[in-house]
Structure 1
Amino acid sequence: MSRTSPTRREPATRWLAGTIADIPTPFDRSGGLDISALTRLCARQIEAGASAILVCEAAGEASTLTAAEREAVIRAAVAAACNRVFVIAGAGSNSTLQAVQNTRQAAAAGADAVMSVVPYYNRPTAEGIYAHFRAVGDATALPLILHDCPSRTGRTLPDEILIRLARWAQFGGLRDAAGDVARVVRLRSLVPPGFRLLAGDDAAAVPFAAAGGDGWFSLVANVAPHLCSAVLTACQCGRWPAGRRLHRRLLPLIELFDRDAPAALKYALSLQGLAAADVRLPLTELDPAAKAAVARAVAQIGTAPSRSVARPSHPLL
């Protein structure tokens, strides 16, 4: 790919749509990786009809994983996917050199795309953010998904920088956790048609869809994949009352995840027998009151939604 001028957008990220689970990294009682549990979590998303899965990102406690563990997680996800869904690997860092190394490692481990977050803690300038992402792009041929999460990074990805990056075919989409739903409307006409705009968290799923978003990256989809799929399907069909009603069933759990993720997410999965609740320091497990709240929220979700919410043929899948 030429790096001296913008290139025509390739169809590599046509699959970047719908509900994509941000999968946690399960640990066993000794603190090591639980690859069997990770495989179960990936398989659950595949069976639910997801187009992609995301590992080694916010829910995956990526900052506590060693390089060897990151590689093992990505390889396990790729093996579980078995070419049935696309595997996105989180590869961000506040060090450009480390982000480049993470990105190359993800490619070598078989990932189909990488997600790279705005550098955190350093508080770079807008031009620094642009140079950081271009350096990461120069290090790989994989599609790159940008992650804007100012609550964690201390910096917002400026619109003008996003628009400049989106001109390059390699930058395929945005995970937007900035909290400005109007941004979707603002950006849609300013980025190439193939550039995907996805909500970065569960609470924004319905507003983002109403504004023209392509889907969302989700924590709660790990717990209720079919219900999350039904929310988005209802929205895509223009059945907004149904979409809002289904989304409200998820809100108590979403609020708990927003407050205590990924510990609350892992505890919910432990209640379903899918993974242990263990997290790594500096994170700790939930206290008894928080565990009781998560248990109530999981119980309130109930069974999968009725099949009467028909799934349309998505033009991107």
Structure 2
Amino acid sequence: MHGRAELVRRVVEQGRPVAHVVVELNVSRATGYKWLARWRAEGPAGLFDRSSRAHRLPRKTPAELEQRVLALRGTRKLGPARIGPLVGLAPSTVHAVLTRHGLHRLAWLDRPTGELVRRYERARPGELVHVDVKKLGAIRAGGGWWAHGRGSAQHNNARTEQLAGRRVGYDYVHCAIDDHTRLAYAEIHPDEKAVTCAAFLHRAAAWFADHGIPRIERVMTDNAKAYRISHAWREALADLGAQPRFTRSYRPQTNGKAERFNRTLADEWAYIRPFTSSADRAAALPGWLHTYNHHRSHTALGGHPPISRITVNNGAGHYT
């Protein structure tokens, strides 16, 4: 604004040629004549920036078609790639319509209700720890059908045993994740009974204390009996001086950090390669946990590993 007003002042008030003034102000002659014309037509208001939006949009999506897009998004929770073929529009056009109407990405919504999921993060380490159990099928010695392929002897034996009611069983991965730092601890057990869960919580608290989180204030779990009505679990919480917190019924996203950690655990450890046995898989867990806590970048932490929040908060510096 100041430069445009100065251009007008030198040309109009001082009577100087436009060609000389634009050289002094380091702009083109066309730019100088443009702002001078706008000032003469509109006065000082003509020197303000104008919107670059077109006056007419002859190819804009019709309003009734936009309403169909919005209706499909609201009722069926579909994304642009699936809405496009239903209404005869390109997915990019559907995306532009959804963006124009301020609709959130599906990844940000709770699918059953369509409400925006409000993400949160506790202010300090230990304020809230998420606890959950990831159930994995046990692996036979020598590897199961996933290692040897469908149609293999291992695959056929597994089907025969299932039909006979003989199953190899499950491994239960008990996990604890600190809400603020995302620091995680995990153990593998043969069950998820209350006594097992309570003992795991004691060891998890000791592990967190060794890594710079001396106290756990609250523990969030789902509504399983081992947590909800267990004396052993309540005693473990009392020993630690922690308060229980429970997820809302049928809303696993309430414990979203634990659910997301379970997914990462499965993708980057449990199913990263074929294992020859459950023991082989279990042996790989401590190394993966160390990588997760100390070296793996975390998008919610600005690309830094979870342990970085301990070193920043506590100045430890040696957990690298």
Higher relative contact order at CA 8 Å, sep ≥6: structure 1 or structure 2? Answer: 1
- TM-score over 0.5 for the alignment? no
Bigger proportion of residues as helix: 2
TM superposition score normalised by structure 2:
0.19
TM superposition score normalised by structure 1:
0.20
The structure that has the greater radius of gyration is 2
